[in-house]
Each structure stands twice: as C-alpha cells, then as structure tokens.
Amino acid sequence: MKERSKLLLIALVFLGAYYIPWSHPIIRQSGLEAFMMLQEYAREHVLACLVPAFFIAGAIAVFISQASVLKYFGAQAHKALAYSVASVSGGILAVCSCTVLPLFAGIYSRGAGIGPATAFLYSGPAINVLAITLTAKILGWQLGLARAIGAVFFAIITGLLMALIFKKDDDARNAGQIYVPETGEQSRTLFQDASFILTMVLILIFAAFAKPAAGETGLWPMIFSAKWYITIALLCLLGVMLAAWFKTDERHAWIASSWGFMKQIFPLLAGGVLAAGFLLGRPGHPALIPDQYVQSILGGNSIGANFAASLAGALMYFATLTEIPILQGLLGSGMGKGPALALLLAGPALSLPNMLVIGRVMGAKKTATFCGIIVVMSTTAGMIYGAIAG
C-alpha cells in the first residue's frame, strides 16, 4: 500500500471515529448488526465452506496449467473449442476480476479473436469456484446454480455477439498465435490430478452439508448424520494421495497458493461483511438503511428493479466475494430474487475501474458494446429467474 493510501485510510478512520454519532440508537444497532453478521459468517461458513474452497482454488491454480487453457484462444484454434474453453475458464483458472485483466490483455493483443477473448473476460471472474460455492451456501443452492449456469451461458452469448458485431474489425487485425510458454513435464497423470481435486470437492460438499428440515425423512437426514465420518474418510484419502502422488515442493506450492488466496480474500470478505451488516443488517434485523428504501428500488421483479440492479453491479467494484454478504443484506431488506441474480451476473467482470482498463485494450466502442450486452442480458435473466423463483 502506498504511503498516500495509508494516510488517507488513517484520515478516514479518524474522521469516522470523530464525527459518526455512535451514541445514536440506530448507529449503535447498526454497529451491533455488523459484528453479529461477522460472527454468523465465522461460525457457519468459514471452516466448513470457505477453507476447503481456498484449498481447491489453490490446487487449481498450481496443478492446472494456465498455458494449456490459454492456447485454445489463438487465431488458428477451432471456434467451438475456443468458446467452450473460454466459457468455463473461470472455474479452471480461478482468477478474480482484477487478475483476469492482464490475462485478457495478453491473449487479445497476441491474436485471440474478440469473441473468445471477451467470453474469457466475462467467464474468468464470473465462474470463480469460491464465489459460486459461497453463493450456493449462503444465498441458496437455487441462486448459486442460476449464477453458475447464467455465467457460462452469458460468456458464450457475449463472445458470439461481440464476434458478430465486430467481425470486420476482427478480420482486419493481424492474426497471430498466442505465445504459450512450455510447462515442463507433468509428474502425475490427468486422472490423478482430477481425482485429487474431486476429493477436495467432495470434502467441501459433505463438510458444508445442510441440516435437513425438522421431520424430514429419507436419504438427506442419513447423509447429514454421517457427514463428518464421510468427511474424515475423505481427508484420510486426500492425505494418502498427497503422500503418494505429490513431491514435497508441489505440496509446498499448493499450500502457498491456498494461503495466497486466503490472505487476499479474508480481509476483503471480513470488511464486506462488516459493511453489509452495518448498512443493511441481517435478514429480519434492521440496520442503517431502512428496508422500505431497498424494497422501493429493488423489490419485486419489474424491469426497473432488474435494470437498476444490473447497472449497479456493472458500475460498482465488488472485491472478491464481498457481493455475497451485501446481497444477503439486500435480500433480507426486501430485494427481489430476480434483481439479486441480475446483480450477480453483471457484477463480476465489470466495474468502473475495469471498464477503463478494458477500454485501453480494445477501444471505447467495443468496451461500451461489451458492457451494454452484459447489462441487457443480466436484466433479462433477472426477470426470467424472478418469474420462475417467485
């Protein structure tokens, strides 16, 4: 952090401590809600959900070669394959909205078509494994599934539309192959890497397995009663895999990568939770912003509500995962399910700072078209999901 930024942060903290009327009942209630929401996250979501997801993200980043993914975006790549890889690259590469920008600039400047490049630009942060997992855990599996499916679909459609609209410009560019560095010889088979990551995914699923409703019978309660036995067995299996298949330096690289994700995301997530709790409170517990304000702007499933959510998601900068506690507060204050999905779909790849960077890479006209496509599609998807989910 630069010295100027440190000074600004210190000044903001001082001004907040000096001027905010902490003795006011609403401010005191909002402050309490902020820390109650943080406690809820710590107790219910960190150990069973976030920590396994961090280790999965670390494994993906270390053991799945980015070069092997990016090579499919070159000018000579098969179009169907290029769009297929681009649409799911977020889950493979595990990049955030800031990390995807230099990757996008690199593949576009080295000859990737505008279609696959923008599909990758959207998909990169939108299908982040941590974001999808936490969305399903906190906001419900329906919204998590809709976010995952919508993100893949959006990536493909956005890329195809950009390629169609700017076909002449794309053809006029100097087509070239993307430079892909050699990755060296793998010490494991694809099956071993896939089995290792699948085992961690199963650990995440069973550790975060939700408690069934009271009185429910069948398979769900049986799995829940055995969840920790299954989780421990999977952890033992993971330990065997680590000892048998991975070298010491590979294990160290995996731990370092996972720790890197934790250092980057935990402080941002904690700050986002505190801010969301202070402004919006937990569901059923009012805080600084009255519920009726949220309901009047984002309630229901109107075109205006969905468009407002899409536009807010496109313009605002959400640090990785912080959109989830903010949406949790908004939903508790009366936000409609459709606008919630619209914000989730518009927000990951877009923000005002991102637009400035993207504009320097591919120009103002392409950037405005890219942003407009995402906002329109997010609004439409929100209305459809809101009508289905009720």
**pLDDT (tens digit, 9 = 90+) per residue, 272-322?**
778 778 877 776 677 787 777 777 788 888 898 899 889 888 877 666 666
Total tally of structural domains belonging to the chain = 2
- Is there a single domain that holds both residue 315 and residue 277? yes
Neighbours of 39 (CB within 10 A): 12
pLDDT band for position 351 (50/70/90)? Answer: confident
Cα–Cα distance, 42 to 270 (Å, whole number): 9
Q: H-type helices in 166-302, by residue range?
A: 167-172, 190-207, 219-245, 248-280, 291-298
Q: Can you tell me whether residue 287 is helix, strand or coil?
A: coil
- Is there a single domain that holds both residue 219 and residue 310? no
pLDDT (0 to 100) of residue 379:
93
pLDDT (0 to 100) of residue 30:
86
Domain presence at residue 8: no
Domain presence at residue 325: yes
- Is there a single domain that holds both residue 306 and residue 241? no
Q: Which of 246, 269, 286 is the last residue of a domain?
A: 246
Q: Does the pLDDT at position 369 exceed 90?
A: yes
pLDDT (0 to 100) of residue 118:
86
Q: Which of 203, 224, 246 is the last residue of a domain?
A: 246
Mean predicted confidence (pLDDT) in 235-240: 93
- Is there a single domain that holds both residue 58 and residue 173? yes
Domain presence at residue 224: yes
Q: Does the pLDDT at position 130 exceed 90?
A: no
Q: H-type helices in 20-99, by residue range?
A: 25-41, 51-63, 66-70, 79-93
Domain presence at residue 225: yes
pLDDT (0 to 100) of residue 374:
92
Q: Can you tell me whether residue 247 is helix, strand or coil?
A: coil
- Is there a single domain that holds both residue 267 and residue 146? yes
Q: Cβ-count burial of 346 within 10 angstroms (0-12 exposed, 13-18 middle, 19+ buried)?
A: buried
- Is there a single domain that holds both residue 214 and residue 312? no
- Is there a single domain that holds both residue 56 and residue 98? yes
- Is there a single domain that holds both residue 204 and residue 57? no
Q: Write the pLDDT tens digit of every residue in 244-264.
A: 988 888 889 888 888 887 887
Dihedral angle sign, alpha carbons of residues 17, 19, 23, 27: negative
Q: Which of 215, 246, 277 is the last residue of a domain?
A: 246
> Which domain covers residue 306, as residue numbers?
42-180+247-389
Mean predicted confidence (pLDDT) in 72-90: 70
Domain presence at residue 364: yes
- Is there a single domain that holds both residue 251 and residue 270? yes
Domain presence at residue 256: yes
Residue type, 15: L
Q: Does the pLDDT at position 271 exceed 70?
A: yes
- Is there a single domain that holds both residue 80 and residue 100? yes
pLDDT (0 to 100) of residue 283:
66
Domain presence at residue 318: yes
Higher pLDDT, 31 or 47: 31
Higher pLDDT, 272 or 70: 272
Q: Does the pLDDT at position 75 exceed 60?
A: no
- Is there a single domain that holds both residue 111 and residue 86? yes
Domain presence at residue 18: no
Reference 158, options 330, 295, 325, 348; nearest CA is 348
Q: Does the pLDDT at position 324 exceed 70?
A: yes
pLDDT band for position 182 (50/70/90)? Answer: low
pLDDT (0 to 100) of residue 233:
93
pTM, rounded to two decimals: 0.63
- Is there a single domain that holds both residue 80 and residue 170? yes
